[in-house]
Structure formats: structure tokens, C-alpha cells
Structure 1
């Protein structure tokens, strides 16, 4: 089968033919239809992601497809069932084997492309805002990187919860995407002072930060007393250092969130969150924004869209 494969850590991934493995006990085999790309895929190539598998491996963290077999003595969706899976790797291939207990049956009206763009982005933002930060109606939410894969879902979910949402992104085109997702106020990170703009709007109660670096520092200084800062990732390449004395003075909380980790120690948090999110999808309340859909043969181009910040929302690679 075809796979977008990494032979060694740091090597350039390439499409190659590899043997198709049968599912083991506890696994489900999928005929993969689509795979959503994530910033973490870029980190995996360099061996810098916290869950980078040992090489060789196939890239692609989240997939949608059709079950074609179950492993021995394994309970799971029956062959022919349409599912999405967060597998952590192996998604950029014609077929893949993934943990059966992570396979989520898709609503009848959900396309494979939407499904491949759904789990990580919406799951991260919902668990972060609802479970971790306890965002309340009427509070002010600042979303950094608001036109990116997770940032855009944070804008949508913040509005669903009833918050006032300030979206921060680079450039008018990306800000328009955030506005269309429901943002109440827009800040151009290229030209505006984030701290001053937020202060002029009354400060912020929750910060959603997948960026880090200077934007984290500006948002930190715009926080109201008892604000919660969600540290989601560091797309800027800079992990911010937090002045603990400022946390004390303003009674601030900085909260780390790694969505995939919940699958290991509290999977029920993810299960309950996804049930809510799929309900919202079927009700038409949320809809993945996918800026690019490319075939496997153009997977390197798809990753470059993430690397160069030229995409908005999600980039999806199709396998059929």
C-alpha cells in the first residue's frame, strides 16, 4: 500500500510502498479515506513532538475511513462502518490499524473530509474551554492564532458557550475567517498592540494560546484578575517563561492542555466532549473550516501550507 513514510528522524518524508499489516488484538483496520494534518506532524518530522513514534513510521495523526477488519477477540465497529480515529500516526496511507476503542462512529451526514478535520481541533478546544478553563457565558475570551486549525474552533466553541470572543490573527484575510466563525472583535497581530487592544476592550478572562512567544506575553499582561490562560502549543517556536510573581498579584491561572493525553488517563473526558461536539455538528451549530484538500501525491505540499502559515482552519489529505 502507499504511505507517506519517514525512514529516519529528521529525514524528508516520502511516498513509498510498504506492507499492509493485519490488525492485532484490540485494533481495527481501516480503509482510509481522508487524513487531517496538524502542526504536530511538522514537529514529528524533526523528532520534536512529545509523542513522536520511533522511526520508521507513517505520518498522519487523525483519520476517517471505513472499517474493513477487526483484530482477534476485538470488540469494535463492524466492518463497513464509517469512523474517525485519533491514532497518533499512520494516517497518510491507504490502510491503517488503530486502537479499536478510539474509533468514533460518524453521523450519517458527516463527510470523510469533515471527519478527518474534526477530532483534534474541536476536541482540543472544547476540553480546554469547557473542562479546563470553565469558560462562562458573558466572559471575554481571547483566541491567539485564531485562523489556525485549533484557534478557529476555539472561536466557534467560545461563541457556543456564550462568551465575547476577541480573535487575534495575522492579516486581514485570516481575520475575516475568524470573523465569519463568530468573533466579536478582531486584532491584527501584524500591526496592532495586542495588550493595548485587549485592555481597550476591558481586558480578558480566558486566553486560548496555541502560539506562545511574544503573543503569550502580551496576552498575559492583558488579563483581568482571576483570568485563566490556556497553554495549547507553541507555533511561534518560543516557549514562554512565566513570571510567577505576576500570577500571584492578579490571581491568574496558567493551564496546560494536551488533548491526546486524556485518552490515556481520563478517556471519559474525551468521550463526553466528542458526544457534545458531534451533536452540535448534526444540529448545524459547528462546521469544520477546511482551506485545502489535496491528494496523497501532494502531501508534501499540504504540509508546506502548514509550515508557511498559508492555510486557515484545517488541511486535509485524501486517499481515494
Structure 2
């Protein structure tokens, strides 16, 4: 099969191209075979390819197939599985920039009937991560104000919609006018451009009493700025470091004390390993919003077709031009043929 295999870490993402690799085989008794129709691009993929992610030191070493999120069609499953061949699924497992993959059943979800595979792939694990951050960790309540840092990204667009569904006021931080228009269309009550001078005070001025927001959702690695926007006894959840290019910021710890703030890291993948029951509850909470049609998948406007387009998609992601989730269309024909048979 074809796949984007990393035989050694790369310096230039433009050098990534599909290779002929052996077809995957199941590694465990619960593994499900999936023909991949779509794969999503994340900042983690960019870091993995270059060896800049913390996981590259232990878990993700060459050779490995790049990519973490996908949608596709089940091709094989153990007799005990509820996911039978022909079922449309989406999931998050290393190795998604490929034509086929095997994934543990716990890491897969059936695609909701109202979504295409591309739409499910655009949501991926971002919805569950954002629900877990805002609900399970930050305990965001109706009537509170949430600040979403990195609001136009794959995680951020889910966080904005979830916060609105919970009845919160949402202030979104983005980097340009196109992203501002997009995030307003998803329901954000206020939008601030982080290029503006003194933008943190503009965020505070948007709050009802000018004292700051109750909750900060940080998907980019801007904890110092988040603390400045936070009111006394506010809560800040660190979800990721998409804007840091592998470099972590050093914060002034006294700011946490002065605000009596709660700063909480939420590592969704490790949570799933340490506490699977909690992660299942998170997924169920998010999927309940999907059933209520409170969630709209946001797919970036540029059309990436085939594994050959992965390198350009990652380059665009690195330039911060992408909003929502960039999707590589690997085999849409398989999805069309499946729908024609049903």
C-alpha cells in the first residue's frame, strides 16, 4: 500500500512523499481493519515529522507512518466487535497518512448518519478533547464567559461551539480577518485579533464587569496572556501548544498566585490510557451534542487530494493559513461506492 512513512526525521516538510510499504497487520485482539478515505492534518503531525514532539523521544521513533486522525470504512473486525465490515468510522491512531490502518476498537467511533466521512474526520478527537477540557476539567457553566485561544484551529472551532452549547459567552482569539469571519459564523460572541496592541485588555473589556473571563481554553501555548485575561479565581486549561513550534514558554508563576487561578493541563491521550472510563464519559458527553446537532464540522477551504498532497497541507498548516481542519481526501470513491450499495 501507499503511505507517508518517516524513515528519518525531516527538516523540510516539502520532501514528504508517499512510499510503497507493507500492508498493516492487527497487533491486538480488538484491532479493527479500516480502509482510510480521509485523513486530518494536525500540528502534532508537523512536529512528529521533524522529531520536535515530546513523544519522539520515546513512543514515536522512525520508522513510522505519519498521521493521527482519519475516517474510513471497516474492512475486518473480530467476531466480538460491534463494528462490522462496511461500517463508516472515524478515529485517532498513529499511521493515518496511508491507504489502510488497524486500530483498537476503543479508538474508533461510528460516523454519525448526518455527517460525511470528511466531516467526521474534520471533527476527529477535537470534539472530545474540547468537551473534556471545558466540562470535565474547567467545569464551564451557563452564564460564564470563556476565552478560546487558537479559536480558528481544529480544536478551537470545536471549543467555541461546545462553550456556546453550554450557554456560555464566548470570546475568540484569532490571527486575521478571514478567520474572524469564520469563527463568528460558528457562534463566537466576540473576536479579538492577537496582532492588535494590548489585545488582552480588549478581551477583559468585552466581559460584563471588565474583570476578565471565567475560563481560558489554551490550545496554542499562551499561558501568560491567558492569565492576564482571567478574572480572580478563574480557570485556565492547557490543551496544546500549536503556536510554539515545539518550544515551551516559561511563565511567571506569581501570576497564578495573584489571580488565585487554577491552571490545569489536559492530556487527552494519556487520560485515555490512565482512566479509560473517564474518557468514555467524555466521548459520550460530546456525542450527545452531536446528536442534538449542536456541532458543525469545519473543513478548510483548500482541496487536498491524495497522499501526494500531505506535504503541501502540512506546509500550509505551518504557515498558519489553515482554519478549521485541513482534510486529505485519500479515497472518497470508496465512500461513494459504499453509499451506492446501501
Above 0.5 in TM-score? Answer: yes
CA–CA separation in structure 2 for the residues paired with 1:117 and 1:159: 19
| 1:238-317 aligned within 5 A | 238-291=247-300, 292-295=302-305, 296-317=307-328
Q: 1:243 Cα deviation (Å)?
A: 2.5
CA–CA separation in structure 2 for the residues paired with 1:126 and 1:197: 26
> What does residue 43 of structure 1 align with?
47
Task: Tell me, yes or no, if the aligned pair for 1:58 and 1:91 is still in contact at 8 Å.
Answer: yes
Task: Tell me, yes or no, if the aligned pair for 1:4 and 1:15 is still in contact at 8 Å.
Answer: yes
Give the alignment partner of residue 107 of structure 1, picking from 87, 107, 112.
112
Task: Tell me, yes or no, if the aligned pair for 2:223 and 2:251 is still in contact at 8 Å.
Answer: no
Task: Tell me, yes or no, if the aligned pair for 1:107 and 1:278 is still in contact at 8 Å.
Answer: no
Q: 1:105 Cα deviation (Å)?
A: 1.7
1:190-222 per-residue CA deviation (whole Å, 9 max, x = no partner) reads 12422211222221111111222xx43222122
Q: 1:289 Cα deviation (Å)?
A: 0.6
CA–CA separation in structure 2 for the residues paired with 1:82 and 1:270: 22
> What does residue 16 of structure 1 align with?
19
1:81-132 per-residue CA deviation (whole Å, 9 max, x = no partner) reads 2111211x11111111111222212222221101112222212111100001
The 4+ residue runs of structure 1 with deviation greater than 4 A are none
Task: Tell me, yes or no, if the aligned pair for 2:220 and 2:242 is still in contact at 8 Å.
Answer: yes
Which moves more between the two structures, 146-155 or 279-288? 279-288
CA–CA separation in structure 1 for the residues paired with 2:111 and 2:220: 31
CA–CA separation in structure 2 for the residues paired with 1:70 and 1:117: 24
Number of matched pairs = 316
CA–CA separation in structure 2 for the residues paired with 1:152 and 1:226: 26
- Structure 1: 5+ residue runs without aligned partners? none
CA–CA separation in structure 2 for the residues paired with 1:234 and 1:206: 18
Higher relative contact order (CA 8 A, sep 6+): 2
Q: 1:279 Cα deviation (Å)?
A: 3.1
CA–CA separation in structure 1 for the residues paired with 2:287 and 2:280: 11
SS at match of 1:60: coil
CA–CA separation in structure 2 for the residues paired with 1:78 and 1:161: 34
SS at match of 2:321: coil
> What does residue 154 of structure 1 align with?
159
CA–CA separation in structure 1 for the residues paired with 2:287 and 2:141: 21
Q: 1:249 Cα deviation (Å)?
A: 2.5
Higher strand share: 1
CA–CA separation in structure 1 for the residues paired with 2:97 and 2:259: 46
CA–CA separation in structure 1 for the residues paired with 2:153 and 2:24: 34
Task: Tell me, yes or no, if the aligned pair for 1:64 and 1:83 is still in contact at 8 Å.
Answer: yes
> What does residue 175 of structure 1 align with?
180
Query: Over aligned residues, Cα RMSD in angstroms?
Result: 1.8
Task: Tell me, yes or no, if the aligned pair for 1:23 and 1:70 is still in contact at 8 Å.
Answer: no
> What does residue 218 of structure 1 align with?
225
CA–CA separation in structure 1 for the residues paired with 2:217 and 2:295: 18
> What does residue 29 of structure 1 align with?
33
CA–CA separation in structure 2 for the residues paired with 1:297 and 1:107: 28
Task: Tell me, yes or no, if the aligned pair for 1:194 and 1:218 is still in contact at 8 Å.
Answer: no
Q: 1:164 Cα deviation (Å)?
A: 0.9
